Structure 1
Amino acid sequence: MMIGQLAADTGLSVRTLRFYADVGVLPAQGRTASGYRLFGPDAVARARLVRTLRELGVGLDDIKRVLGVEASLTEVAAEHVRALDAQIRVLRLQRAVLRAFIGSTDPEELRRMTELINLTAEQRRRLVDDYLDAVFGDSRSAVADKLAMGTPELPEDPSPEQVAAWVEVAELLRDPDFIATSRRMAERARAEGPEPDVAQFEVGKAVGELAGPAARAGVDPASPDALAVIERLEALGPSPSEVRTHVADRIEAFTDRRVGRYWTLVGIINGWPPSQAPDDIIDAWEWYARALRAHA
């Protein structure tokens, strides 16, 4: 058949069919004496298949592979699905970045978001691993393992809040001062022995329940009421005879608002259930440390 008949049978324009013929996905079987292309009986099915694959976004090179029996249609479809999945992930991230940026007037913020969001999942993981290496080196510990288990994993379709949280986490992990603070905490944890026992966890819970309300109520750390809180907490502790200034030193060494903020952000990124605000916890511990020093 001539190209006009092929166009009528397939619904494709003559111009499109000429293009397919020129690039080799719809070869003509010959020409008339006047030089017009002639197509064989399989041209209609072939042209319809090419049109379908092009509408799905499959490239001409892959179409040639299918039509030339170099690859099955299933193989090409699977490859295209993988490519589309990657493209969809990128589009979702871009959409989330733009949504997170709405309301801001700082172009630099958009640049930072775009730069950090465009990292691959492997590159994001490497950012965390570099931080852990800088803080712990080869001397890994339970603290390092906890941090590694709490790696922020940005979902494929993040919310604007998760995008903003990831950007903030990434900036923390690359902040030399945050790394130095984390390293000091890790070194002190190694120097002071193994992880706390169950009794010490109970003390930590009690600090939130007793020192927290006192801090929020503005109780003077040097007051008798503060001393009563100290004595109740010391009654729970495994080492009530420990020097109060030493306990205060330890609290101050391990109380850092940026560390608390880091875990809040990781929780947002990973979709963890909300917990007590880290600032409230830190307020309680800081108040307790001041009270210990006042009543040393």
Structure 2
Amino acid sequence: MSPDGIWSIGELAEHAGVTVRTVRFYSNRGLLPEAGRSTGGHRRYGPEALDRLRLIRSLRTLDLPVPEVSRVLDQEDTLEDVIAGQLRELGSRLAALRWREAALQLLQDCTPDERADRLRLIGAMSAPPSTAALARFWRCWLPPRLPGRLASAIIDWSVPRPPADPTPSQVLAFARLNEFVNSPCFTSGRRQLKPHHHDYRPVVLYEGLSEACTLASARMRAELPPHEGEALDCFVSAFAEASGSRDTPGFRRQLSGRLAADPRIDRYWQLTAEVTAPPSGPAEPTLGATHEWLRRALDDQLARSSV
């Protein structure tokens, strides 16, 4: 260092253990301010430049892009915020790699006759996959007059979250689910496929159904078979109140017939259960499974009462 405490670009590079080219790069990007220039036009740096250069190198070691390093140095962003953002991005990249690994494993383990179809299914979705098509499916399936909060709650319950570390079978199930909601019978004719109970007052109906399915889920997690009780009464009450009727034996018989005639999307719920299946332990009941549990509880109650 010269008597006035100023380093040349070469001296700074030597003390920092980097190349002159590296110092020049960060200087040109505005990350490393110069103390001035020599009479010959050469860059000069003050004593604070060494600490700043070491900080830059540490941030770059974390793979922070140069613009983010600049914002941290200028205190436009805190280091904590930048680190949190990097962790989110890294998590997304790792999830994508895990999905690709599971997809490759799926293709490797299948027979030659299966490979072409599975490759087509996998090629139709991103890694990790988007749930946008599934959400669109439910926005078309649900009645248009539902409040946003209620519609969002139903969609959140009905659309499975892609697992971060999927098995090959979960990749295949999600690919088939993606194909299911994009099939022509749903993309071109959803209005004709809507359940008959869309004739009811939708807000009253779906709020009641949400409560009934929550009650049924607790019983399903306890591995109880469909049966009479609070969950079934809440289920029937939702339909009765939404149609301005009373819960009577006659209404229950009529409701059973209407539910039996409703369009079914059993395949959707089967694939959803496969996508969300945990590595061990019982799976969380899907909305479709709870609805079917309640429907069977109603049919069983009617069958017993008719004996």
Q: Structure 1 47/156 Cα, relative in aligned 2: closer, same or farther at 3 Å?
A: farther
Structure 2 residue aligned with 1:48: 54
Structure 2 residue aligned with 1:111: 123
Structure 1 residue aligned with 2:155: 148
The unaligned stretches of length 5 or more in structure 1 are: 207-237, 289-296
Structure 1 residue aligned with 2:178: 170
Is residue 188 of structure 1 aligned with residue 191 of structure 2? Answer: no
Q: Identity rate of aligned residues, in percent?
A: 24
Q: Structure 1 139/184 Cα, relative in aligned 2: closer, same or farther at 3 Å?
A: farther
- Aligned-pair distance for 1:38? 2.1
Q: In the alignment, is the contact (CA less than 8 A) between 2:125 and 2:178 conserved in 1?
A: no
TM-score, structure 1 as length reference: 0.58
Report the 3-state secondary structure (helix = DSSP H, G, I; strand = E; otherwise coil) of the residue aligned with 1:54. Answer: helix
Q: RMSD value over aligned CA atoms?
A: 4.6
Runs of 4+ in 1 over 4 A off after TM superposition: 144-147, 178-186, 190-196, 249-252
- Aligned-pair distance for 1:250? 5.9
Structure 1 residue aligned with 2:237: none
Is residue 102 of structure 1 aligned with residue 110 of structure 2? Answer: no
Letter in 2 for 1:177: C
Q: Structure 1 251/268 Cα, relative in aligned 2: closer, same or farther at 3 Å?
A: same
The unaligned stretches of length 5 or more in structure 2 are: 1-6, 108-114, 217-224, 228-248, 300-307
Structure 2 residue aligned with 1:14: 20
Is residue 28 of structure 1 aligned with residue 40 of structure 2? Answer: no
Distance in 2, matches of 1:263 and 1:25, equals: 54
How many residue pairs were aligned? Answer: 233
TM-score, structure 2 as length reference: 0.56
Structure 2 residue aligned with 1:261: 267
Q: In terms of Rg, which structure is larger?
A: 1
Distance in 2, matches of 1:163 and 1:205, equals: 31
Q: In the alignment, is the contact (CA less than 8 A) between 1:134 and 1:179 conserved in 2?
A: no
1:72-151 matched pairs, under 5 angstroms: 75-104=78-107, 105-106=115-116, 107-114=119-126, 117=129, 119=130, 124=131, 126-138=132-144, 148=155, 150-151=157-158
- Aligned-pair distance for 1:113? 2.7
Deviations 1:221-254 (A, max 9, x none): xxxxxxxxxxxxxxxxx67xx79xx98x768635
Distance in 1, matches of 2:172 and 2:157, equals: 18
